[in-house]
Amino acid sequence: MKIVLIGYMASGKSFVGKKLAAVLGIPFKDLDAEIENQEGKSIPKIFSEKGEIYFRKVENEALKQIISKAEDFVLATGGGTPCYGNSMDLILSQKDVLSIYLKTPLDVLVARLLSEKENRPVVAHLDTEEKLNDFIRKHLFERSYYYNQAALIIDNGNESVNDTVEKIILKLF
């Protein structure tokens, strides 16, 4: 079983993914963590020292490597992963991969990112709730074109992580 979670920043890909992998008894992989290990730097450092275009190249390469492996996994991608280069086509073209969009309402994303934006260079500069809300509303609309191509769409708003994992499991079996 190969599961790839996609969705906006703070939709819960890393949080839900870890729990889902534990319940399924298969390895959990986080694309951002793989990139950080490979580059020997944090995501904010890669953005500030090498720039976003470099990050997107490395992100696409890391995705290719993980997705082509034979073993089972749950992979949490980054919020931008499916929206650059051929990454979404790559995810969709792998017949043994199940893509899942974790869909989270705008107000929940804004609330989560208000307290967790420092390590996310794409939104780190947005210093008020109003700016964050304005930016995410437009950005989410643009990115939804990619997210909505996932095979499965699962709501992860105000439900508990256990409920979200259960919803996914029910769709799998």
Interacting residue with ligand S3P among 21, 90, 120, 136 (CB under 6 A): 120
Q: Where are the beta strands (DSSP E) in the chain?
A: 2-6, 28-30, 73-76, 97-103, 152-155
Q: Closest CB to ligand S3P among 53 and 173?
A: 53
Distance CA 8, CA 81 (A): 10
77 DSSP 8-state letter: -
CB atoms within 10 A of CB 67: 21
Least distance in Å: CB of 18 to ligand ADP?
8
Distance CA 126, CA 50 (A): 21
Count of residues that bind ligand S3P according to CB under 6 A? 11
Stretch in the footprint of ligand S3P (CB under 6 A) among 100-108, 116-124, 148-156, 164-172:
116-124
Give the residue carrying structure tokens 């979200």: 164
Interacting residue with ligand ADP among 4, 12, 99, 168 (CB under 6 A): 12
Least distance in Å: CB of 50 to Mg ion?
20
Distance CA 62, CA 78 (A): 11
Binding mask 60-89 for ligand ADP (x = CB under 6 A): ----------------x--x----------
In the sheet where 152-155 sits, what is the strand order? 28-30, 73-76, 2-6, 97-103, 152-155
Binding residues for ligand S3P, rule: CB under 6 A, are: 9, 13-14, 32, 43, 78-80, 120-122
Binding residues for ligand ADP, rule: CB under 6 A, are: 7, 9-16, 76, 79, 112, 116, 156, 159-161, 164
